[in-house]
Amino acid sequence: MPTSSLPMIDVHVHVGLLGDRWPQWGRLSPWYRQQLVYRIFLLYSRIPEDRVCDQTLREATIEIIGRSMAGPPRQVCLALDPVYDKQGQRREDRSHVWVDNDYVLALREELPDKILFGASVHPYDPLFRERLRKYADAGAALVKWLPSAQQIDLAEDAVRRAMIDMATAGPGGRPLPLLLHVGPEYAIPSSDPTTQSYDFLSWSGWDKFWNWFRGRKRWRTPQVDKIHANIRAALGEGAVIIFAHCGLPYFSTGLFGNLLEHSDFKIVKDYLMKNETAGYSGRCYADISACCTPFRQKFFKDIATLPAGYLLYGSDFPTPSFELSAGLGDIMADLKAVLDGHLDRIIVPEGNLLDVNYRELAHFFPEHPLFINFSRLL
């Protein structure tokens, strides 16, 4: 376990609402509530589907975060702005999931010693600068973008301007970090399937090949050169960018992994490796959220090659976490529970899932500074 006087921080915790009691604070679309991923999240949050409502979701969030003991003492809970179209219109109707900043601020009031505020401000919003300043003044620890679901084209001029604005939006003119999802996204689908590629920092020959088979549902080809020009411009002004999940694929590993599923790991690694040599005043980081799975465990050796000072801890709760280090005793206890009728124990670990995620990653990355690097950054 890492030891330090600095607090450990989980930079990547999702929250959400159905929209029945507090529709001004967020919504899950009817389509989304029919998807398997939604049911998986409820299973891992231990919320029966017939009991889902805003009140239940809020109580469960407060209980899980409030009772997390072994894991990092603080969690960054993330808002998620709805889609804004390129004319600057707010489009909740085109958002399967959105979470208002004010909801996260309300959660922080409930658990001020546990919750940090992860804001979300869409770069297409004409009031971007005003809202960014508002939430920075409210104590935002970072800003979250999920390009595919929010339909943000990273090649747009508005994105470059927004990232440059974030370079000086923090306290005393310091950067307000951008937590940017990169790589495949399965948890929060876009209402426009063609924007699935908006999360990509690269576009390979295999991406082109597979895209041809999608026919009318082809993903948009990302303008990679413009995307990197925007990122470099922001870094040149002092921006801090956190690449979520290290840009890793979720399912595919091994020799043919990159042929079956998109990966931006090499691009992310290149940005991190050049932090000290590229001549930018800004810096790039990567978080290891949603990595505590049997699929991504095989990438742990690759993650360990990244510069230790630029890795950050994250869970991506309620994305599933697994007891990867379970011994024979744990396995037998789970087997007994299953035989006693607790079938969820087949895949859902016992105990607080925030604690499970931390405990497992601390086992595989012992004494690693990634658990306190965000405290240093703040």
Distance between CA atoms of 159 and 140, rounded to whole angstroms? Answer: 19
Give 314's DSSP letter: -
The whole-chain average pLDDT of the chain stands at: 91
Mean pLDDT of 80-91: 98
pLDDT higher than 50, residue 335: no
User: Helix 224-236 crosses helix 157-166 at what angle (to 10 degrees)?
Assistant: 20
356: closest CA among 75, 74, 116, 69? Answer: 69
Counting residues of the chain whose pLDDT is more than 70, the rounded percentage is: 91
Burial class (CB in 10 A: 0-12, 13-18, 19+), 131: middle
Residue 275, sorted as left (phi over 0), alpha (psi -120 to 50) or beta, turns out to be alpha
Counting residues of the chain whose pLDDT is more than 90, the rounded percentage is: 78
Q: Would you list the DSSP string of 113-169?
A: TTEEEEE---TT-TTHHHHHHHHHHTTEEEEEE-HHHHT--TTSHHHHHHHHHHTT-
Residue 106 within a domain? yes
What is the per-residue pLDDT for 327?
54
Q: What residues are paired with 117 via a beta bridge?
A: 77, 140
pLDDT higher than 80, residue 71: no
What is the per-residue pLDDT for 331?
45
What is the per-residue pLDDT for 52?
96
Residue 133 within a domain? yes
Question: Which position has the higher pLDDT, 4 or 299?
Answer: 299
CA 140 vs CA 23, 82, 101, 241: distances in Å: 22, 18, 10, 15
Residue 334 within a domain? yes
Mean pLDDT of 329-352: 58
pLDDT in tens, 178-205: 999 999 999 999 999 999 999 999 999 9
200: closest CA among 225, 232, 218, 222? Answer: 222
pLDDT higher than 80, residue 148: yes
Return the CATH number at 199: 3.20.20.140
Residue 230 within a domain? yes
What is the per-residue pLDDT for 328?
45
pLDDT higher than 70, residue 75: yes
pLDDT in tens, 7-36: 999 999 999 999 999 999 999 999 999 999
What is the per-residue pLDDT for 260?
77
* 3 state DSSP class of 187: coil
What is the per-residue pLDDT for 344?
56
pLDDT in tens, 273-290: 999 999 999 999 999 999
* 3 state DSSP class of 10: strand
Residue 39 within a domain? yes
User: Which of 135-139, 158-162, 347-351 is predicted with the least confidence, judged by mean pLDDT?
Assistant: 347-351
Half-sphere exposure of 72 toward its Cβ, with a 13 Å CA cutoff? 30
Query: pTM higher than 0.85, yes or no?
Result: yes
Range of the domain at 262: 9-377
Distance between CA atoms of 311 and 348, rounded to whole angstroms? Answer: 27
Q: Would you list the DSSP string of 253-278?
A: -STTHHHHS---HHHHHHHHHTTTTS
Give kind and range of the element (H or E) at residue 77. strand 74-78
Residue 4 within a domain? no
Contact between 354 and 318 (Cβ < 8 Å): no
Can you tell me which residue has the tokens 């899950």?
28
Residue 1 within a domain? no
Mean pLDDT of 220-232: 98
pLDDT higher than 50, residue 338: no
Counting the structural domains of the chain, the total is 1
User: Helix 353-364 crosses helix 54-66 at what angle (to 10 degrees)?
Assistant: 40
Question: Which position has the higher pLDDT, 137 or 329?
Answer: 137
Contact between 116 and 77 (Cβ < 8 Å): yes
pLDDT higher than 60, residue 70: yes
Contact between 170 and 118 (Cβ < 8 Å): no
Which pLDDT band holds residue 239 (cuts at 50, 70, 90)? very high
* 3 state DSSP class of 372: coil
- Cβ neighbours for 63, distance < 8 A, ≥ 6 positions apart: none
Distance between CA atoms of 131 and 126, rounded to whole angstroms? Answer: 10
Residue 3 within a domain? no
What is the per-residue pLDDT for 324?
85
Tokens of 253: 């590993």
What is the per-residue pLDDT for 2?
52
